[in-house]
Amino acid sequence: MNNFFKWHEKMIWKISKEFNLSKYQVLILTWLEGVLIGVILCKFIF
């Protein structure tokens, strides 16, 4: 699982450099990603 988190972090920063995003914008996008994944999990699991 730790490898997944490291991979995800590398991909997020790679994409942020590609689209010239600030740290604040990355924070907002990752927060939205977490909310979306949470909603999907709640809808299909619970």
- DSSP classification of residue 30: H
Question: Which sequence spans correspond to the domains of the chain?
Answer: 2-45
Contact status, residue 16 vs residue 26, Cβ threshold 8 Å:
yes
Q: What is the pLDDT of residue 37?
A: 93
d(CA 33, CA 27): 10
pLDDT digits (tens, 9 = 90+) for 1-42: 889 989 988 998 999 999 999 999 999 998 999 999 999 999
Angle (CA) 26-34-16 rounded to 5° is 20
Cut 0.75: pTM above it: no
- Distance from C-alpha of 38 to C-alpha of 36, rounded to nearest angstrom: 5
- In angstroms, the CA 20 to CA 3 distance is 25
